[in-house]
Amino acid sequence: MTRLLLVLLCICSGGRLCAQSSVNTQVLIIGGGTGGTAAGIQSARSGAQTLIVEEGPWLGGMISAAGVSAIDGNHRLPSGLWAEFRNQIYAVYGGPKAVETGWVSNTQFEPHVADSIFKVMAGAEKNLQVLYGYRFTGLQKKGERITSVQFVHRQTGKKLNVQALTYVDATELGDVFAKASCRYDVGMEAGSITGEKVGIATSNKIVQDLTWVAVLKDYGQGVDCTVTRPANYTPEEFDGSNTDYYKDKSRKAPTVNAQRMLDYGRLPHNKYMLNWPAYGNDTYINVVELSPAQRDKALEAARQTTLRFTYFIQQTLGFKNLGLANDEFPTADRLALMPYHREGRRVQGLVRYTMRHIAEPFTYGDALYRTGISVGDYPIDHHHKKNEAAPQHLEFYPIPSFNVPLGALIPKDVSNLVVAEKGISVSNVANGTTRLQPCVLLTGQAAGVLAALSVLKKQEPKKISVRKVQEELLNAKAYIMPYIDVQPDHPHFKSVQKIGATGILKGTGIPFKWANQTWFYPDSLVNGLALNKDLAQYQAGNYSFGKTLTIGEALALAQQLSALQKTEMQRNPEASWKTWGLYNFTVTRPITRLELAVLLDKTIDPFGAQGVDHRGRFTDTTKSYKTKTIQ
């Protein structure tokens, strides 16, 4: 397939870009962070000529360049690009146990390894190119469409103009959709706006604390790696970060000692990630609406916080043998390449996803769960300890695992823009969980599917079928429903996911510690009374099943819903049953939830037959559907 058309482009012998003024492509990803990298890889795999333009020298954003290399969540929800990335991590280090090095995460690794993995994955895609070192500066629009995007190279000052058909805003703070005049939110919304009952009476502009991460390395006993004493250092700043230094009893009592604090983010090869929230190196700075130059100046405060924390660990706590790693980040001070932004702008999309949609997916508001495109299981986790003006109670509300709706990626105001990263259309509270690495990676993958389909089908993103996007994600072995007990390697994974996305069979969500859950219960019997209600939402009719449903009744249901023609399944249902990989065909036996999901998927295909809009509403609830031909 034709590669990108590079106009006035000179390529040096080493493949290095040395001069250019204009580039044409089909899909442009602005930002090579976690979501942007995933979007670029998936867009290319979906068949669109794709370009990622990244400001820094690394791919992966918060997972790599920002140093947050202890994965939060989705350990038991491995799918899509998240599963691919994790499998590569396992391959590098020698399996799952080799990366269970710290107590905060099941998957911890060195940041530079993440960058190298993403670069290999990106390099394998013939439809994908990546340009490094270019900062986004502006864009041009015609009506509601973006026509071009401008960049400048941070070192050479060379300007770049990129024209594309579809654009993806994968910047950390939502800079592209802001420049495109999309409506967006910053900070906390009042409960009267979101419907959330979390004690926020009035809206404000407060965002979460950010962190400039460092990675310490053990250089061996007897080696003194202490950094120069930073300006304004006082150990009292970190009082209460651990039990070995706790003097001010007005501060919340710590629960871990110094070694345990370090082991929180212990990485392979005797390294330690410094991303400690409790009187550690979080910093409150709101840089969202600042210019790039203003941001760079303001963010110096976060770097200094981390240098002071490093000195505190070395000098006051006595870990002088732990020094800033010399084999991680290519920076002068050895700190991460970029800050860890937990929150920026949030676009106003076709739908706004809130905590109530997460907590009450099947009963609250629109049925957004039917439009799911990525999944997460982490608790709602807000960092506000370094800003006394911020509410201090926004954390760990009981929620199940969840799926993010497609409409949250599509702005209301620009017709050829898709949003990835943390800027999707969610409430401030919901951002506390949708912002975590695996969820952002999977949301980025969905953004890549949507952008590519928009180009290939010559339609605006908002006009692309929800089911088409979901189908392609399922083909990539990605979850659209967060059902923990039927994983992508299960032979009936797609059937369960598809029937789950119709709502004909609903799962059960359970808040659970640091890894929330939703269970499909495939081996449980079908609750006929619940099925009566859920079927009526899918297709109008009178359904009167009893407490359980038999295989024979399920076959009759398929006939009723689809006006089945004479097929092999009708002539010899037992043979079809076996062909589908099911067993113990007895028409009088109660049918399991898994068996019903497979039967409905293979006969009437309710997922494909019944479209949904971005609010999860069925597009036609009165039509009778004919089955696929089954031999």
Cβ atoms of 555 and 604 closer than 8 Å: no
d(CA 279, CA 274): 12
The answer to which of 271-285, 435-449, 534-548, 613-627 has the lowest mean pLDDT is 613-627
At 542 the pLDDT is 85
- Tell how many helices (H) and how many strands (E) occur in the chain: 19, 24
pLDDT in tens, 34-90: 999 999 999 999 999 999 999 999 999 999 999 999 999 999 999 999 999 999 999
Q: Name which of 165, 43, 28, 36 is nearest 449 in CA terms.
A: 43
Give the E-state strand segments of 435-578 in sequence order. 508-510, 517-519
In degrees, to the nearest 5, what angle opens at C-alpha 10 toward C-alphas 451 and 169?
25
Q: Residue-wise over 268-299: b if at least 16 C-beta within 10 A, else e?
A: beebbbbbbbbbbbbbbbbbbeeeeeebeeeb
167-217: per-residue pLDDT in tens? 999 999 999 999 999 999 999 999 999 999 999 999 999 999 999 999 999
Six-digit token string for 427: 């409430």
Cα–Cα distance measured from residue 549 to residue 545, given in angstroms and rounded to the nearest whole number: 7
What fold characterizes domain 5-81+110-188+343-475? FAD/NAD(P)-binding domain (3.50.50)
Which residues are bridge partners to 426 per DSSP? 353
Span(s) in the chain for CATH 3.50.50.60: 5-81+110-188+343-475
The residue assigned the tokens 């501060």 is 251
Please give the pLDDT value at position 26. 98
The DSSP secondary structure of 523-553, one letter per residue, reads TSBPBHHHHHHHHHHHS-S-----SB-BHHH
Q: Model confidence at 20, in pLDDT bands (50, 70, 90)?
A: low
Q: Please check whether residue 137 is in contact with residue 129, taking contact to mean a CB–CB distance below 8 angstroms.
A: no
Which residue in the block uniquely carries the two structure tokens 């050895």? 334
* Mean per-residue pLDDT, 426-453: 98
CA atoms in the 13 A half-sphere facing the CB of 194: 29
CA distance 165 to 455: 6
Burial of 132 (0-12, 13-18, 19+ CB in 10 A): middle
- Is residue 218 predicted with pLDDT exceeding 90? yes
Residue entry with tokens 């940041």:
111
pLDDT on residue 273: 98
Q: What is the pLDDT of residue 8?
A: 39
Statement: residue 556 has pLDDT above 50: yes
DSSP code for 201: -
Containing 54, the helix (H) or strand (E) segment is strand 50-54
Buried b (16+ CB within 10 A) or exposed e, 155-191: eeebebbbbbbbbbbbbbbbbbbbbbebebbbbbbeb
Interatomic CA distance for residues 243 and 251, integer angstroms: 12
What integer is the mean pLDDT of 464-471? 98
224/238 Cα distance (integer angstroms): 21
Q: Please give the Cα distance from 102 to 92 (Å, whole number).
A: 17
pLDDT band at residue 550 using 50, 70 and 90 as cut-offs: very high
Q: Which residues are within 8 A (CB) of 8 and not within 5 positions of it... i.e. 6 or more apart?
A: 19, 20, 21, 22
Two structure tokens written together for 392: 């201090």
Backbone angles phi and psi of 142, in degrees to 5? -135, 110
**Which residues does 348 contact at the CB level (< 8 Å), separation at least 6?**
182, 183, 184, 185, 411, 412, 413, 425
Residues 92-147: pLDDT tens digits?
999 999 999 999 999 999 999 999 999 999 999 999 999 999 999 999 999 999 99
* Interatomic CA distance for residues 200 and 403, integer angstroms: 24
CA pair distance 106, 73, nearest whole angstrom: 9
Tell me the mean pLDDT in the region 403-416.
98
| Cα-Cα-Cα-Cα dihedral sign, residues 344, 350, 355, 361 | negative
pLDDT value of residue 222 = 94
pLDDT digits (tens, 9 = 90+) for 228-261: 999 999 999 999 999 999 999 999 999 999 999 9
- What letter would DSSP give residue 512? -
- CA gap 76, 517 in Å, rounded: 9
Amino acid 551: pLDDT: 96
Distance CA 425, CA 286 (A): 20
Q: Mean pLDDT across the stretch 401-405?
A: 98
**172 vs 18, 31, 288, CA distance in Å?**
27, 8, 10
From the list 209, 193, 108, 107, the residue with the least C-alpha distance to 432 is 209
106, 96 contact by CB (below 8 A): yes
Residue in the block written with tokens 């039917």: 370
| Helix ranges, 224-278 (H) | 258-263
Task: Please tell me the predicted confidence (pLDDT) of residue 627.
Answer: 36
User: Tell me, what's the pLDDT at 18?
Assistant: 47
What pLDDT digit, counting tens, does each position of 487-505 carry? 999 999 999 999 999 999 9
Q: Are 354 and 195 in contact (CB under 8 A)?
A: yes
Helix axes 111-123, 80-93, angle to 10 degrees: 120
Round the average pLDDT of the chain to a whole number and report it: 93
323 has a pLDDT exceeding 80? yes
Percent over 90 (pLDDT), the chain: 89
Helical H runs in 255-336?
258-263, 292-298, 300-311
Residues contacting 113, CB < 8 A, separation 6+: 69, 89, 92
Confidence of residue 572 (pLDDT cuts 50, 70, 90): confident
Question: Using one digit for the tens of pLDDT, what is the confidence trace for 357-401?
Answer: 999 999 999 999 999 999 999 999 999 999 989 988 877 788 999
Quote the CA–CA distance of 77 and 55 in Å, as a whole number. 31
Q: So what's the pLDDT on residue 392?
A: 81
pLDDT of residue 563: 57
